[in-house]
């Protein structure tokens, strides 16, 4: 791997021994790794974290890997995904790719082959630089750098995910349930945690700016838009 670039990879795998072996092989090669052993936890991490690639097993507890991939792609998540599974049937491979996987590696596998496949996914992803823009607000999805004009904005992982959803939808309204599902899936926390996140996001994005971009529509949701789009 390029020594100037440290890729963050999330591994969704319920075999603890295999996870340990993946960490032992990939971490010394410069990769930053996280792991989850069930599908729902992995889906939440994938949406909240700033990952460059995902490695997903098919047979996961609580939510199968292929369903995790479908859920991520349905939410416009473009993180490169490699399926790592013992399911070697052609129909399974086709289902995995149609769900949104970018690559498919069958167990048992050689760690060296896994590494070169990861490198290929990362190289293709870096070649497709993605940037969102609303007014003078810009969000580079590859570097996770956010700017309002000449001012760089620092956000938490949750706030970045909310901002990405709002910018992709702009100038349309995003409902509260949609934003809650973005952060917490089907199990949003009790209380008004979303409001706290939106308060911090508004303070970071708009701050002392004369032109406000983040707008609240009472009892409906939130919209990110320049004034002439209101």
DSSP 8-state assignment for residue 42: H
Q: Alpha-carbon torsion 39, 111, 126, 159, what sign?
A: positive
Q: Alpha-carbon torsion 149, 155, 157, 159, what sign?
A: negative
pLDDT at 190: 78
pLDDT at 139: 92
The pLDDT tens digits along the chain (230 residues) read 544 457 899 999 999 999 999 999 999 999 999 999 999 999 999 987 778 999 999 999 999 999 999 999 887 788 899 999 999 999 999 999 999 999 999 999 999 999 999 999 988 776 555 788 999 999 987 778 899 998 999 999 889 989 988 998 888 898 988 888 878 877 777 778 888 999 999 999 998 888 999 999 988 899 999 875 44
pLDDT at 10: 96
pLDDT at 127: 59
Q: How many CB atoms lie within 10 A of CB 106?
A: 14
Q: Which domains does the chain have, with CATH numbers?
A: 8-127 (3.40.50.2300), 131-229 (1.10.10.10)
pLDDT at 1: 53
pLDDT at 179: 87
Q: How many CB atoms lie within 10 A of CB 208?
A: 6
Which residues are bridge partners to 81 per DSSP? 54
DSSP line for 169-183: HTTSEEEHHHHHHHH
Sheet holding 137-140, edge to edge: 131-134, 137-140, 145-148, 151-153
DSSP 8-state assignment for residue 186: T
Element (DSSP H or E) covering residue 217: strand 214-217
């Amino acid at each position: 791997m390029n020594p100037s670039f440290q890729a963050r990879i999330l591994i969704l795998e319920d075999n603890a021994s295999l996870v340990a072996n993946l960490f032992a092989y990939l971490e010394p090669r410069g990769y930053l790794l996280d792991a989850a052993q069930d599908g729902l936890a992995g889906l939440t991490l994938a949406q909240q974290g700033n990952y460059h690639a995902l490695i997903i097993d098919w047979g996961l507890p609580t939510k199968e890997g292929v369903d995790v991939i479908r859920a991520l792609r349905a939410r416009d998540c473009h993180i490169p995904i490699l399926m790592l599974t013992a399911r070697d049937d052609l129909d399974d491979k086709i289902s995995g790719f149609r769900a949104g996987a970018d690559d498919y590696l069958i167990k048992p596998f050689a760690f060296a082959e896994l590494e070169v496949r990861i490198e290929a996914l990362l190289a293709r992803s870096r070649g497709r630089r993605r940037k969102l823009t609303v007014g003078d607000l810009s969000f580079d999805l590859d570097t996770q750098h956010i700017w309002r004009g000449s001012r760089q904005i620092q956000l938490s992982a949750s706030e970045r995910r909310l901002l990405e959803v709002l910018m992709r939808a702009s100038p349309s309204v995003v409902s509260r349930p949609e934003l809650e599902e973005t952060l917490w899936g089907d199990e949003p926390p009790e209380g008004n945690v979303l409001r706290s996140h939106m308060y911090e996001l508004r303070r970071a994005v708009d701050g002392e700016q004369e032109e406000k971009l983040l707008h609240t529509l009472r009892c409906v949701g939130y919209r990110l838009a320049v004034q002439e789009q209101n």
